[in-house]
Amino acid sequence: MAHVSVAEVQHWLDPEKLTIPENDALPEDDQISPFVLGRLATIFNVDAWDTPSTTPSVVRKIIAMLIAANRYNKVYSETDDAGNRYAGKLEGVAWDRVNMIVNGQISLFDATGDALIANLTDTEFWPTDATGRSDVMNALGIVTAVAGSDDVKFRMSMDF
């Protein structure tokens, strides 16, 4: 099933150069969306993102950009061996946006406008009771404060 509509793809195309018919099935979606969703699956649960109504708007725009880039490259492949420059730019921007989502620089929202929360289950990023419990050394490597002597006001395991 397509994640984007023809209108979303056409938005990225110059209608003077390339127009997609309204009844186009967008077969590229089946080839492109698994890569985008696969990358986003590292931090989000993407299982329900299988239709335009369930796929976040930003993700639909990214998939549409990649489909548009693919169409431009198909159409102009005979005249440009290196590919269409605009298609290359579109593809680069799309993958940059995917990386920005993964890095937390772009937030995703569901259809109701609620922010989607990344699956941050890796505990190495969370503070623990051991945070701040190492020896403090000066530039010469001499211990100036022993482990646990820092002025910690509370520990993660303390109740408030």
pLDDT of residue 61: 93
Which residue in 85, 44, 39 sits closest to 62, CA to CA?
39
Residues 6+ apart with CB under 8 A from 117: none
pLDDT of residue 131: 53
pTM: 0.70
Which residue ranges make up each domain of the chain? Answer: 6-102, 127-160
DSSP 8-state class, residue 116: P
**Segment (H or E) for 75:** helix 57-76
pLDDT of residue 158: 61
Question: Residue 82: how many CB atoms within 10 A of its CB?
Answer: 8
**How high is the mean pLDDT in each 10-residue block of the chain (160 residues)?**
85 89 87 92 87 89 93 79 83 94 84 67 52 65 68 58
pLDDT of residue 135: 66
